[in-house]
Structure 1
């Protein structure tokens, strides 16, 4: 059983937090911001710069040191710094252009893929326009290099966004798998409880039905009470089987109009089995209730599937024994014996449920001479 405890009220918030930025990337950003600041003030000597230009120069470069921690604030500060320098008549140099490209990359990293491509395309168009307005020239190396760098940065940003989307989809998939596992566990517990309660309710029904014959001196009113108890117990068993069908969402049922197979099709089923299988009928075959007819076929079908999966090549012997009030199924193989998967598989659970749902019994385990043995008794009344 899965022992994973549910999340507390604080834990979902903790899981939603972004993972910490690696120290190596933080150091890289610090170096990049410092280098841009140094390069800018080499191009723009401090002794010839006003206080406002110095402040704007710091704003346009130094904030890049924290672009992975607070990208939106960095974008605002660097754009303000760049606007201040350009408004003061500073001619864009390599450092200012590099800062602009880094700001552009930081911006597109915050967008979705479509918006990132749109932003990149817009900037690519703006570069030649800016070159024409400033007189630098549309085909100048500065414009061509800037355009190429914007294209490269847009591509890199989209690759990052694609990887982030894949990781998000993977995380969503893992979350869905966890939910499915939890639902499967709940359904398994429900099946176990169904077996326990069904046995008790079935016992109540049997005792209520047999009480008028085993207890002397019962009046008609008492007999009627026992009959109502038995009917209520049978109704409860029916409703429990319906509830179990709802909980077991992983079972695909056939359409209502599909014909249900029965004992008459067992020879065909045995013939289709991939391996050696024998079918023996003990006693005189008599008509059986439809529920027993279908359940007996399904139990044999699932037993053959188990043998094919867990004991390939083994010989399977199937025996159908008709007794006055019981149909007994015995399916044995001469394989290596049960494994953990065989003993606890979904197929055995389904067979057991079918037998118990009809008020019968079911046993599965190692055979007396080896291999695996499945036995089930289905009442005919």
Structure 2
């Protein structure tokens, strides 16, 4: 494995690592809460030279509630403030100022409250509750230097600002996700309209044959009873009416999608070799099983899927070698297209081409998958029922 391949593997592993799950894990909150508590005891013991039960209790109230800050953030903030006041009451006032774990616990708990409330509520909470509380503390404990409540106010303001920034980023990501979902749905609807137009041509041909044969039957079959002639006439009439309804439906689809009428004959797998020759790269075609005529809808969809796979390979993996496998099974046509390119991007969420291929396969009652290949690259696998 060369250096480029190793770096690509490491990059994929980092991309697959869900840091958000780790950061938001309850176990991490437990570790941080216990760690802050032990650090607070160490700092207090080093400064005072001794610890009593009230100081240990106050340190616990100021730090250990961090474990539950995501579940009951308001209660945790209240307990943290109570613990900080206890440290001021039962120890040297400067101890509170020197205890970084208390700062960390208070700021993290306040950040969680800010994060879980609306933008207006968080800043209202800061201005109406937190700032007056710090002023009361400063007036109640004259030995506390003015720098202490000011530093707390600055730290909590920073926490509110960071929560506001993260909230804004979350809103932007949500808006982007909603917009992407709308684009996907629009692409899917457009592709369904295109599929419907092509299926119309397939079905219209068959219905036209039914109508023609039903009309010709009384002339080619001699001595038909009158009821049979009437039945053939009704079949021909129904076929013509059905054909007319389909054409009207097709007109609505074309009007909605703005598509122009295409008069060229619909392609099928008989043209797949021509398609591969026009790809302009290395393509291996493997036919498994005995080739046989397929229903026109299956034939057309298979051709479109191979066509889209080759187009994707040209766009996203230029120069890559592509292998196309068509496996004729008793009741299924299996299509497998793979390349040895860089594979899907870590943030890939499915393009319009993949949407179209999936829609075609599902419309025929088949299945479709698109993923990284077992040896790298990109792999598309589809199955189209033939009966």
TM-score by length of 2: 0.48
> Which of structures 1 and 2 has the larger relative contact order (alpha carbons within 8 angstroms, sep 6+)?
2
Return the index of the structure with the highest Cα Rg.
1
TM-score by length of 1: 0.49
